[in-house]
């Protein structure tokens, strides 16, 4: 039987092609749908990345790099760095402790160290749930591990109450006690350790050395209110003097510790309850000498930049190099500002003395200064003969240092008669620039509004006197707290009863030195390092969550000898404190019997010309004049040790001066 084959009907070609195209379109749509779903899923699962995370990763990378280098340094043979250094630079000198022990010097006067701002450790005693496991762990100093592990929790616990300036509810952060509180700021980064080690070589030990650690965030009087720190310092000095055969103490404050101990000397003799009740002769009985290191007696312009825009030269440069790190949402800087503006101590370093000390629109004591390639010690005859060269320099290039903040380089350089200004003090601050997304990083700029920001910029230039009004305008809550604890003027009559209030005690222009004619006062500081003196500002790009002002890093001069670099005018100093602030009190205001020094306590200036390390194996060097690194300067350590062992200022050789401090002090018209 024949089979029948059925043919499959042949579809028209155009129908088959159409079907294939439809199948392909379905596949594309299906793939697109899957990819879209996957992207949505990834978006939901991917955590939001903020600039706080960026900051934490950067800090983490820096710490890991630092620890790695430190580990490699420690595993090297102990003699290797010294061998390599000596091969390059020649034999190293003996450390001061070894040198002075060979001379036969021994421990005599007990010494008290007074650390400055941020250099002493702080530890947690009580905190919120996010700080579990951190009891008595360092939040400040040490490894700073919690900064990048839990940054927002760290900021919360390092901040003080914005109304009281004391502990926030449920948080207690307290200063670390003992010499370990400030011997090292971080592993391998010494502060007091080198000085302590050298003192130990001539017989000092813990019973003859005392670290007067305190919570450097608080106002000076509040360290007594909350922690009774001033009372403990008083008791420790009395005990050490008695236990060491009646030998008076040598006090060694550094940086802001200089202002803190100035406050202490008034507090200890003032009657209770405001003071310590030690009586008018307490300092004369218990203190041989006060050796101030890097003292910001009259404040620092750097503090103004920090309070105004949470930055200084280093932050401004970092923003210019890597703008995405700090400008992306800018919340990192806002967190820093929110935290630091609760630290009342920062207001102690606002420039004091107004335009009389720091200059006005057309004048400043440092007028005509130019950076020097090298430093030579000034003799008495040299001091009087320096007018000629500097006068020629001032004619070729002039910097208006009295203009601490200028909005625009053209304003900083213009004649004062050509600057049109609109007063900001009575300006209507206008609508708030804050919104709900910024409230977690709230600063007082959010309550100032666009009108207030515009008014600040239109005033154009600020001197030391108008700067106080500026800070009251942009940070009213902070300055309201600060005005209860600090003052920045010059006293007309020091016998006025109002100057018995503690708010004046840390301002050397509004208080008298103790009645202690045998007590010596030293001012030791570095010179030859460019130090911030004035700033060129600009309005930052409009953004709801941004700090509205920033240093204009494009403001620059190509001249190698120019003092304007990256929006910052620099003068001679130790990188943080200008010479004018460190030296004026001992060079003029306290020199001899004056209304500020009625008993005639002797004062001495000892300057140390900066010399950077010859190679990285020298670490931070033994001849540095930088603000913190000077604590390892062999010449400074030797001077401190000789005084502790009984030497007087005259036996050290009197003044040692490399800068123009005596010339600049003559330009300050201050009634003595």
Name which of 117-126, 311-320, 420-429 the model is least confident about.
311-320
Return the closest-CA partner of residue 275 out of 111, 505, 448. Answer: 505
Q: How confident is the model at residue 451 (pLDDT cuts 50, 70, 90)?
A: confident
pLDDT of residue 87: 58
Return the closest-CA partner of residue 521 out of 585, 611, 573. Answer: 585
Whether residue 385 is predicted with pLDDT greater than 50 in this model: the reply is no
In angstroms, the first-to-last Cα distance of the chain is 139
Residue listed under structure tokens 């951190």: 134
The Cα–Cα gap between 330 and 35 comes to: 34
The Cα–Cα gap between 271 and 280 comes to: 9
Peptide bond into 273 cis (omega under 30): yes
The residues that bridge with 211 in the sheet, in sequence order, are: 113
Return the closest-CA partner of residue 195 out of 144, 141, 254, 142. Answer: 254
The Cα–Cα gap between 427 and 230 comes to: 42
**For 82, phi and psi rounded to 5 degrees?**
-65, -40
CB-based contacts of 363, cutoff 8 Å, min separation 6: 402
CB-based contacts of 144, cutoff 8 Å, min separation 6: 59, 63, 186
The Cα–Cα gap between 531 and 626 comes to: 10
Comparison of pLDDT for 338 and 3, the residue scoring more: 338
Q: Structure tokens of 391? A: 């006068």
Cα 542 from chain centre: 28
pLDDT of residue 143: 78
Whether the CB-CB separation of 377 and 657 falls below 8 Å is answered with yes
Q: Is 263 helix (H, G, I), strand (E, B) or coil?
A: helix
The Cα–Cα gap between 63 and 143 comes to: 8
Whether residue 351 is predicted with pLDDT greater than 70 in this model: the reply is yes
CA atoms within 13 A on the CB side of 374: 2
Whether the CB-CB separation of 292 and 524 falls below 8 Å is answered with yes
Cα 601 from chain centre: 30
627 is catalytic: yes
* C-alpha pair distances (Å), 145 with each of 154, 178, 187, 425, 631: 10, 22, 12, 43, 25
Counting residues of the chain whose pLDDT is more than 90, the rounded percentage is 61
574 is catalytic: yes
Whether the CB-CB separation of 531 and 578 falls below 8 Å is answered with yes
Query: Which position among 183, 215, 572, 574 bears the catalytic label?
Result: 574
Whether the CB-CB separation of 509 and 489 falls below 8 Å is answered with yes
Name which of 195-204, 335-344, 577-586 the model is least confident about.
335-344
CB-based contacts of 222, cutoff 8 Å, min separation 6: 165, 166, 344, 485
Whether the CB-CB separation of 563 and 570 falls below 8 Å is answered with yes
Mean pLDDT confidence for 315-337: 56
The Cα–Cα gap between 480 and 229 comes to: 24
Q: What is the pLDDT of residues 435-449, one digit of tens each?
A: 445 555 456 666 677
Q: Structure tokens of 465? A: 């006197």
Q: How confident is the model at residue 372 (pLDDT cuts 50, 70, 90)?
A: low
The Cα–Cα gap between 511 and 500 comes to: 8
The Cα–Cα gap between 250 and 636 comes to: 15
Q: What is the pLDDT of residues 188-213, one digit of tens each?
A: 899 999 999 999 999 999 999 999 99
**For 228, phi and psi rounded to 5 degrees?**
55, 35
Whether residue 427 is predicted with pLDDT greater than 60 in this model: the reply is yes
Q: For the stretch 85-115, what's the b/e string if a residue is b when 16 or more beta carbons lie within 10 angstroms of its beta carbon?
A: beeeeeeeeebbbebbbeeebebbbbbbbbb
Whether residue 334 is predicted with pLDDT greater than 50 in this model: the reply is yes
The Cα–Cα gap between 434 and 120 comes to: 35
* C-alpha pair distances (Å), 661 with each of 355, 511, 564, 631, 645: 18, 22, 21, 22, 29
Which residue spans within 390-507 are E strands per DSSP? Answer: 405-407, 461-462
Return the closest-CA partner of residue 508 out of 222, 298, 666. Answer: 298
559: left (phi over 0), alpha (psi -120 to 50) or beta: beta
Whether residue 306 is predicted with pLDDT greater than 60 in this model: the reply is yes
The residues that bridge with 462 in the sheet, in sequence order, are: 405
pLDDT of residue 375: 53
Q: What is the pLDDT of residues 627-654, one digit of tens each?
A: 999 999 999 999 999 999 999 999 999 9
pLDDT of residue 41: 52
DSSP per-residue letters across 271-284: PTTTS----TTHHH
Comparison of pLDDT for 447 and 662, the residue scoring more: 662
Q: What share of the chain is helix, strand, coil (3-state, %, to 5)?
A: 45, 10, 45
The Cα–Cα gap between 360 and 230 comes to: 37
Return the closest-CA partner of residue 581 out of 351, 309, 364. Answer: 351
Cα 8 from chain centre: 91
The Cα–Cα gap between 641 and 409 comes to: 46
pLDDT of residue 617: 62
Q: Structure tokens of 298? A: 């009259």
pLDDT of residue 374: 47
Mean pLDDT is highest, among 129-143, 452-466, 497-511, 605-619, for 497-511
235 is catalytic: no
Q: What is the pLDDT of residues 12-60, one digit of tens each?
A: 445 554 555 556 556 545 655 555 555 555 544 545 555 556 666 777 7
Q: Structure tokens of 468? A: 């106080």
Query: Which position among 255, 345, 659, 665 bears the catalytic label?
Result: 255
What's the mean pLDDT when you consider all of the chain?
A: 84
Strand 287-293 with 249-253, pairing: parallel
Strand 529-539 with 568-573, pairing: antiparallel
Query: Which position among 157, 263, 335, 627 bears the catalytic label?
Result: 627
Q: How confident is the model at residue 543 (pLDDT cuts 50, 70, 90)?
A: low
Residue listed under structure tokens 């919360």: 156
pLDDT of residue 19: 55
Q: Structure tokens of 662? A: 């005596």
Return the closest-CA partner of residue 329 out of 44, 541, 46. Answer: 541
Mean pLDDT confidence for 117-142: 92
Q: How confident is the model at residue 386 (pLDDT cuts 50, 70, 90)?
A: very low
């Amino acid at each position: 039987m024949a089979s029948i084959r059925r043919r499959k009907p042949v579809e028209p070609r155009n129908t088959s092609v159409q079907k294939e195209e439809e199948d392909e379109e379905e596949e594309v749509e299906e793939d697109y749908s899957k990819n879209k779903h996957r992207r949505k899923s990834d978006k939901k699962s991917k955590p939001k990345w903020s600039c706080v995370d960026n900051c934490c990763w950067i800090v983490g990378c820096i710490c890991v790099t630092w620890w790695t280098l430190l580990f490699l340094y420690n595993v090297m043979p102990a003699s290797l760095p010294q061998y390599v250094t000596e091969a390059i630079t020649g034999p190293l000198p003996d450390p001061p402790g070894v040198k002075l022990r060979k001379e036969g010097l021994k421990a005599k006067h007990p010494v008290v160290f007074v650390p400055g701002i941020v250099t002493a450790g702080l530890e947690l005693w009580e905190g919120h749930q996010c700080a579990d496991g951190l009891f008595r762990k360092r939040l400040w100093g040490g490894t700073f591990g919690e900064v990048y592990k839990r940054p927002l929790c760290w900021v919360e616990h390092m901040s003080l109450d914005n109304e009281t300036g004391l502990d926030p509810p449920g948080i207690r952060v307290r200063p670390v006690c003992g010499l370990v509180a400030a011997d090292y700021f971080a592993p391998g980064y010494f502060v007091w350790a080198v000085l302590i080690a050298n003192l130990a070589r001539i017989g000092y030990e813990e019973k003859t050395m005392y670290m007067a650690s305190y919570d450097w965030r608080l106002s000076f009087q509040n360290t007594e209110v909350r922690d009774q720190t001033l009372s403990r310092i008083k008791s420790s000095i009395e005990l050490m003097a008695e236990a060491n055969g009646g030998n008076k103490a040598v006090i060694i404050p550094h940086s802001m510790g200089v202002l803190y101990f100035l406050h202490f000397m008034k507090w200890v003799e003032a009657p209770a309850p405001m003071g310590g009740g030690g009586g008018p002769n307490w300092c004369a009985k218990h203190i041989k000498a006060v050796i101030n290191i890097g003292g910001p007696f009259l404040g620092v312009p750097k503090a103004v930049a920090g309070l105004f825009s949470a930055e200084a030269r280093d932050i401004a440069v970092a923003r210019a190099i890597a703008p995405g790190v700090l400008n992306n949402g800018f919340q990192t800087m806002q967190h820093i500002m929110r935290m630091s503006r609760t630290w009342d101590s920062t207001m102690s370093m606002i420039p004091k003395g107004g335009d009389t000390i720091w200059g006005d629109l057309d004048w400043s004591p440092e007028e005509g200064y130019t950076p020097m390639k090298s430093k030579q010690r000034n003799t008495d005859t040299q001091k009087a003969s320096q007018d000629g060269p500097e006068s020629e320099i001032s004619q070729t290039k002039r910097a208006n240092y009295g203009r601490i903040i200028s909005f625009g380089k053209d304003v900083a350089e213009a004649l004062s008669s050509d600057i049109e200004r609109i007063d900001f003090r009575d300006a209507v601050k206008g609508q708030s620039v804050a919104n709900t997304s910024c409230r977690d990083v709230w600063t007082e700029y959010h309550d100032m509004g666009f009108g207030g920001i515009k008014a600040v910029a239109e005033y154009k230039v600020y001197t030391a006197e108008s700067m106080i009004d500026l800070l009251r305008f942009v940070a009213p809550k902070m300055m309201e707290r600060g005005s209860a604890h600090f003052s920045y003027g010059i006293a007309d009559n020091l016998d006025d009863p109002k100057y018995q209030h503690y708010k004046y005690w840390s301002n050397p222009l509004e208080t008298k030195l103790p009645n202690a004619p045998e007590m010596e006062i030293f001012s030791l500081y570095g010179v030859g390092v460019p130090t911030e003196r004035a700033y060129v500002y600009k309005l930052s790009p409009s953004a709801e969550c941004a700090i509205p002002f920033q240093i204009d890093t494009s403001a620059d001069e190509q001249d190698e000898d120019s003092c304007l670099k990256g929006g910052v005018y620099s003068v001679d100093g130790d990188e943080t404190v200008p010479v004018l602030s460190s030296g004026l009190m001992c060079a003029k205001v306290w020199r001899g019997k004056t209304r500020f020094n009625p008993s005639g306590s002797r004062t001495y200036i000892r300057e140390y010309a900066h010399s950077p390390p010859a190679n990285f194996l020298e670490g931070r060097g033994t001849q540095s004049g930088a603000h913190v690194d000077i604590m390892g300067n062999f010449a400074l350590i030797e001077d401190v040790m000789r005084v502790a062992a009984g030497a007087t200022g005259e036996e050290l050789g009197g003044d040692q001066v490399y800068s123009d401090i005596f010339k600049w002090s003559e330009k300050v018209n201050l009634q003595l």
